[in-house]
Structure 1
Amino acid sequence: MRLLPAALALAFAALSVSTSLSAQKIDAPVDPRSMALLAQGRAAAAAGNLEQATDLIETALAVDPRNRAAFVELAAVAERQQLPGKAIRLYREALLIEPNDPAALRGQGEALVAKGAMGPARENLAKIKQLCGKKPCPDAVSLTATIAKGPPPSAEPATKVPEAPDAK
């Protein structure tokens, strides 16, 4: 009698795991509705309407959260809005779906440089170079140039601590 609740809990856990695993194939194609919303979002971003682009691309992700291209595009929009922290997070989401995406690694590296995180940006560059091998790789060239340029002045850490006002 004492084992019955534990056995039932274990059976329900096994049933729920097997159900969730069979519900969605890992390599299933991205929902076409999500891709259509992504295309509309790209068009809005190209037209300079970043708010509408963000809304459309977020809707594309709500339709299909596996749409890696939508994460990459939304991160690019965040960078255009001067939000490198948000861009880094969105690129990370894309890299969770496909860790070997050179475009996402490049974008995340560029956003890291914008935040002043040069070490992690160099790590992304090394991953891109490893993925490209001996082939020419525009993503590696772009990230190399961004790293060489360095972070913007506002991203660099303060070297001087502000002094307290004199009390007279």
Structure 2
Amino acid sequence: MRLSSLAAAAALAVVSLSTSLSGQRPDNQIDARSMQLLEQARGLKAAGNLDGATDMLETAVAVDPRNRSAFVLLAEVADARGLPGKAIRLYREALLLDPNDTRALRGQGEALVQRGAVARAKDNLVKIKTLCKSECADASALAAQIAKGPPATVTTAQVDSKTPPTP
């Protein structure tokens, strides 16, 4: 009696395991709905509708969290809005899916320069140069951004020192 219940449990486990494995998609196949939303978001971004593009891209990522291109475009939109910290996080998400994505490495490096993390941006430049083997556009763009340096920020103390005192 014990042997038959163990055999039945083992058979049930094998059947459930094989069923769950056959229902999964391969890692390189992104959901078509997610890709369609990505294309719509590209059009919205090109038209200057950053809010609409963000909404479409967030939906695309929700439909298929493996859509690396959606993460990269979402990061570019965040960067266009002047949110380099958010862009860095979104580029990191894309790089978790593919650490060799030179577009994501360049974008993250440019956002890092905006935040003043030039040393980390140089690390990204080294990775891009290693991946490209020869000169490529992503390496050139990031090198130019690093050479330009972080943007100058105006602090309250600097503004106050330039303003003449009122009598």
Pick the TM interval, shorter chain: 0.7 to 0.9
* Aligned residue pairs, count: 142
Partner of 1:153: 152
Structure 1 unaligned spans of 5+: 1-14, 163-168
Partner of 1:87: 87
Partner of 1:28: 28
Displacement of 1:100 in angstroms is: 0.4
1:1-40 alignment, distance < 5 Å: 22=21, 24-25=24-25, 27-40=27-40
Identity of matched residues, %: 58
CA–CA separation in structure 2 for the residues paired with 1:69 and 1:158: 39
Kindly provide the amino acid, as one letter, of the partner of residue 126 in structure 1.
V
Kindly provide the amino acid, as one letter, of the partner of residue 142 in structure 2.
L
Displacement of 1:154 in angstroms is: 2.1
Structure 2 unaligned spans of 5+: 1-13, 161-167
Displacement of 1:27 in angstroms is: 2.5
Displacement of 1:25 in angstroms is: 4.6
SS at match of 1:79: helix
Kindly provide the amino acid, as one letter, of the partner of residue 47 in structure 1.
A
TM-score by length of 2: 0.78
Asked if 1:133 is matched to 2:123, the reply is: no
TM-score by length of 1: 0.77
Kindly provide the amino acid, as one letter, of the partner of residue 61 in structure 1.
V
Kindly provide the amino acid, as one letter, of the partner of residue 98 in structure 2.
E
Partner of 1:143: 142
CA–CA separation in structure 1 for the residues paired with 2:151 and 2:156: 13
1:41-52 alignment, distance < 5 Å: 41-52=41-52
Displacement of 1:56 in angstroms is: 0.3
CA–CA separation in structure 2 for the residues paired with 1:26 and 1:96: 17
Deviations for 1:105-153, whole angstroms, at most 9, x for unmatched residues? 000000000101001000000000000112x310000000000000011
Kindly provide the amino acid, as one letter, of the partner of residue 80 in structure 2.
R
Give structure 1 regions of 4+ aligned residues with deviation exceeding 6 angstroms. 157-160
CA–CA separation in structure 1 for the residues paired with 2:25 and 2:40: 26
Partner of 2:96: 96
Deviations for 1:33-54, whole angstroms, at most 9, x for unmatched residues? 0000001111111111100000
Kindly provide the amino acid, as one letter, of the partner of residue 145 in structure 2.
T
Displacement of 1:89 in angstroms is: 0.1
Root-mean-square deviation (CA, aligned residues, Å) is: 2.6
Partner of 1:53: 53
Partner of 1:119: 119
